[in-house]
Amino acid sequence: MKWEDTLRYNILLVFGLALMAAALYLVFIYAPTEKTMGDTQRIFYFHVAVAWVAFLAFFVVFICSILYLWKRDIKWDIIARSSAGLGVLFTTMVLITGPIWARPAWGVWWIWEPRLTATLVLWFTYIAYLLVRSYTVEESRGARFAAVLGIVAFVNVPIVYLTIHLWQTHHPPELVSDLVSSMMLTLLVSIAAFTVLYILLLIRSISLTKMDMEIRNLAQGDARANTRKE
Partner 1 sequence: MDDLSYLFAAYMVIWVGVFGYVFFLHQKHRRLQRQMKLLEEEKSKQQAD
**Judged by CB under 8 A, does residue 201 bind partner 1?**
yes
**Judged by CB under 8 A, does residue 21 bind partner 1?**
no
DSSP assigned state of 179 = S
State how far the Cα of 197 lies from the Cα of 16, in Å rounded to an integer: 6
- The site that binds partner 1 (CB under 8 A) totals a number of residues, namely 30
Q: Residue 75 or 204: which CB sits closer to partner 1?
A: 204
Kindly state the smallest distance separating residue 162's Cβ from partner 1, in Å: 25
State how far the Cα of 191 lies from the Cα of 58, in Å rounded to an integer: 16
Kindly state the smallest distance separating residue 91's Cβ from partner 1, in Å: 11
Residue from the set 225, 227, 228, 230 that interacts with partner 1 by CB under 8 A: 225
Angle at 131 between CA 125 and CA 137, to 5 degrees: 140
Q: Exposed/middle/buried for 81, CB within 10 Å: 0-12, 13-18, 19+?
A: buried
Kindly state the smallest distance separating residue 208's Cβ from partner 1, in Å: 5
Alpha-carbon distances, residue 147 vs 63, 64, 87, 92 (angstroms): 10, 8, 15, 22
Alpha-carbon distances, residue 61 vs 40, 75, 76, 154 (angstroms): 33, 12, 9, 8
Quick note: the x/- pattern for partner 1 over 69-108, rule CB under 8 A, is -----------------x--x--xx--xx--xx-xx----
Q: Given the rule CB under 8 A, which residues bind partner 1? A: 38-40, 42-43, 46-47, 50, 86, 89, 92-93, 96-97, 100-101, 103-104, 197, 201, 204-205, 208, 211-212, 215, 218-219, 222, 225
